[in-house]
Amino acid sequence: MVYTSIELTCGAGIATLTFNRPKALNALNTILLEEFADALEGIKKDESIRVLILTGSGEKAFVAGADITEIATLTPLGAKKFAQRGQDVIGRLQALAIPAIAAVNGYALGGGCEMALACDFIYASDKAIFGLPEISLGVIPGFGGTQRLPRLIGANRAKEMIFTGKHLTAVEAKEIGLVNKIFAPEELMAAANETAQLIAGKGKASLCAAKQTLNQGLNADLATGLAIERDAFALCLASQDAKEGTGAFLEKRKPVFTGGLND
């Protein structure tokens, strides 16, 4: 598929996917969502990729939400299809086995904020603005915001954001635990890449097991979570990368992890 609304680059175990409709502040329309789904499928199939970075092109926006121009013209059936596509695509992002970092370089509103929430953690430029303004459009977040946001920052803070639709600065977002770290705009991608490189140097099987265990455990009680962890730990120990990691430690050298998901 030829991409017109996103850009995808891959190298050294890192995929960088850039939302690329800067004139519309990278708003999510049907074409962009189709391309995004296609790119995620390619990333999933590529054994060499161990981490994904999502960001937005231009200086103003990560993603300024669903494309309001398109939403305004939708028939009820079209709206249902659009919603299904959006939820499906963001679900696939969250379900990606490898870690995903959102590098939020500007507005992350509505569906854009929800896209960042489906990543594993968020780095932000000091120009980033977060918000779920759907209430001001007479609707509610529809791409998982009412579910993922309270799980991340707590119900009370999520309710304040969703009921008011207010924008949060990067500093405010960091204060409530939505953002991990803040950088100057020109340093954001370098910082995201540095962390991505650190992650890409680890074994793929253990990275994916860690992500899956964390995510499944968050939706379970402690005893169930610990049982999930035990099983995942045992599986990891059987991997080629675990032999390399423990062997390298004993031989006092740096490990080189080359195993795939099934090794």
> Residue from 37, 97, 135, 137 that binds ligand DAK (CB under 6 A)?
137
Q: How far is the CB of 114 from ligand DAK (least distance, A)?
A: 7
Residue 205 makes CB contacts below 8 A (sequence gap 6+) with 235, 236, 239, 240, 241, 242, 259, 260, 261, 263
Residues 93-122 that bind ligand DAK (CB under 6 A): 107, 109-111
194 is catalytic: no
CA pair distance 225, 14, nearest whole angstrom: 29
Query: And the tokens for 180?
Result: 């991990």
Q: How far is the CB of 196 from ligand DAK (least distance, A)?
A: 26
Which CB sits closer to ligand DAK, 60 or 211?
Answer: 60
CA pair distance 129, 169, nearest whole angstrom: 5
187 is catalytic: no
Residue 173 makes CB contacts below 8 A (sequence gap 6+) with 122, 124, 128, 130, 179
188 is an interface residue for ligand DAK by CB under 6 A: no
Binding mask 9-38 for ligand DAK (x = CB under 6 A): ---------------xx-x-----------
The neighbouring-strand residues paired with 101 are: 53, 121
CA pair distance 42, 49, nearest whole angstrom: 10
Which residue of the set 7, 134, 160, 251 is catalytic?
134
Which residue of the set 47, 70, 114, 187 is catalytic?
114
Contact residues: ligand DAK, CB under 6 A: 24-25, 27, 64-69, 71, 79, 82-83, 86, 107, 109-111, 133-134, 137, 142-143
Give me the active site residues, please: 114, 134
